[in-house]
Structure formats: structure tokens, C-alpha cells
Amino acid sequence: MESSSSKMNQSLKCNEKEEYRFDPTTHNKFKEIMSTIPRRKDAWVFDLYQYEGFWCGSFQLEGMLSAQEHFKPQPNQVIVSSTPKSGTTWLKALTFAIMTRFHVDESTNPLLTRLAHDCVPFIEVNICSSPQKLNLDVPLVATHIPYTSLPKSITNSSCKIVYICRDPKDAFVSLWHFNHKMSAKDQEVSATEDVPLEDALEFFCQGLTTCGPYWDHLLGYWRASLESPEMILFLKYEDLKNDTLFWVKKMAQFIGCSFSLEEENKGAVQKIIDLCSFENMSSLEVNKSGMVRLELGITQDGVNAYEFKNNSFFRKGKAGDWKNHLTPEMARRLDQITEQKLAGSGLTLNVTPNG
């Protein structure tokens, strides 16, 4: 009889069909669009391009355009979506564990030996360079693409989208630390010496971050979730922290993988929560010392990729850590923008109070 782990390896196996690699038509369209749209630097001097109302890096733009042309959801496709630094890694791990629980037990789960981003690929990162990775036996992929720019193949389908957002103050602080590590200077200088927090905040408030403006990304998914609650489950990082059991069960039900009473009685939900907890995930060898290879797109010259440490995705894992970094004025500024942007939308965020 086949062991559960070999079954799981099958589940992670890529289905080779419909492979799409370098597509000159999309690439030329991308080049043409890139040459005409607004371009700015972010606080870390990365180039950002403004497309359909949002800022993104060139590789993401090409990935997004390719996804709009080529992405085909699988049957029962589940998509986890977020802005960067809002809890994507955690949400990926939880949905992956929920969807694969029938094939593996807690001792053989691939999350124990692979980074969550390796188990659940991003559409826009892989569509050009490794499209086969998006066609897994576990129909689960992720994206940071804003709702209004999602491929029509997703919005016109019955895909389930689980979206996560976070107090912008914590997302900003998390981004500041992460971008510092990404800019690869962390060996030499501190985050503050690299880009002072005040400078980074200015860019964040202007919306000049990947997928920014942060608030507009949230609002796009929020409005869509009101129109199509059966398609989009809108989660908040802080709610997931405060009542993980409730939200994990809700998520499972939403994606059509509800826990049975028997499973609940056997503690299956709690096992998934424990597996995916920050404490457990951040202490796993793969997440402490492993490296992730990010393929940033494909050109005629080959795959453009670079590597960074898996531990970059695990820092504090707390709600309210902004208090250790932001001055009351900085926090007030972010809260005011949040209030103005969200006014009338019906969306409230779990912003931890200032002061």
C-alpha cells in the first residue's frame, strides 16, 4: 500500500500539461505598457510601475499580465490573496493543511520540511517561469494581484478566494523589516540606517509600495466580498490571532473542506492550528535555515531569479508590534488615512489603539 507521504508527494507533483513559458506576444505587450505607464522608486529605490491603479515591480507586472492572458483555474480552485506582509505565509500554511489533511497526518505534512511559499505558489511569480507549479493536485495557489486586476478566468469562475488583511501599522512595520532584508544590505547596516522609518512611512502613505496603495487593495477585495460573499472570504490577521479555532473552521467550511464532528472531537482543527502556529513554523529547521528561490520572470536570456532566507517570512508574528517602532504621530497618521479611506465602506480594521 502507498504510504501517506508518498501520496502527498504526488499531491505536490506538478502536472506538466499546458506548460507556458516565454510568450513573446505578452512580453512585447508588457514592454509597451511598461514604457508608457508611471514609474517611481520606492523607499528602497526599487522601481515601481503604476498599472490599473496599483504600484508593482516589473516582474509582478509581467506576471500579472501573463496571468490575465493565460491563467486557467483548476476545478475547485482555491486562491489565497493578500497584500504583502499581511499574513500570507500563515494563511497559505493553514489552507494547505486544511486541504491536505485527508492525505497526510501531522508527522508527514510537507509544511514540516518545505516553506509554505513552496507548497502554495504565487500565480504571478510562477506563471511565466514555472507554470507547471500552478497546476498541482492540491488546487491551491496564492496571489497579491489587486482584485480589479485579477484574471477574468478567476473572477468569472467559481473559484473561492480567501483574503487576509491586517492593521496597516503592523503591515507597514513588517514591510520595513522585510524590505530591508530583501535589499540584501542587512549584513552591513541596520534597517534604520538603510531606510529611516520616517522616509519609508512617507512612501507607504503615498501608496508607493508593492501592491499599494495598501488601503485600496483591501477595499477592492472588501467590496467584491460584499457583492459575492460565496466567492470571497475576507479575513483579518488580528481575528485569526484572537480566535484561530473559529476562523479555521470557517475557512474550511468556505472552501468546501468542512471538519466533521468526528474530526473535531479528535482534535483535528487544533492539530492544524498547532502545526501552522508562528511558534511551530518559525522553529522548523526549513524555516530557520532554508533559502527560497524567487523566480522573478523569464526573459529570452533565461529565468531571472534570486534567493533569500526563509526566516525573512517569520519575524514576530504578533498584532500590535508597531508600538515598538512607530511614534504616536506616525501611528496617528496611518490611523487617519485608514479612517478616511475606509469611510462609508462598511469595513473596519482591528487597528490596535494608539497610545
Residues that bind ligand A3P (CB under 6 A): 82, 84-90, 170, 174, 177, 276-278, 281, 313-317, 321
CB of 317 to ligand A3P, least distance (A): 3
Cα 248 to chain center, whole Å?
Answer: 17
Pick the closer one to ligand A3P by CB: 262 or 279: 279
Pick the closer one to ligand A3P by CB: 96 or 313: 313
How far apart, in whole angstroms, are the C-alpha atoms of residue 338 and residue 181?
27
Q: Which residue among the candidates 27, 70, 103, 144 is catalytic per the annotation?
A: 144
Sheet (strand 78-82) strand order: 140-143, 78-82, 160-165, 232-236
CB of 229 to ligand A3P, least distance (A): 23
Amino acid identity of residue 175, one-letter, is L
CB of 264 to ligand A3P, least distance (A): 22
What does the buried/exposed string (b/e) look like for 283-320 if buried means 16 or more CB atoms within 10 Å of the residue's CB? ebebbeeeebebbbbbeeeeebeeebebbbbbbebebb
CB of 214 to ligand A3P, least distance (A): 12
Pick the closer one to ligand A3P by CB: 233 or 281: 281
CB of 321 to ligand A3P, least distance (A): 5
Active site residue 144: yes
Pick the closer one to ligand A3P by CB: 234 or 313: 313
Distance spanning both ends of the chain, measured CA to CA: 60
The 10 Å Cβ neighbour count of residue 233 is: 20
Pick the closer one to ligand A3P by CB: 120 or 208: 120
* 134, 72 contact by CB (below 8 A): no
CB of 293 to ligand A3P, least distance (A): 17
Amino acid identity of residue 333, one-letter, is R
Which residues are part of the catalytic machinery?
144
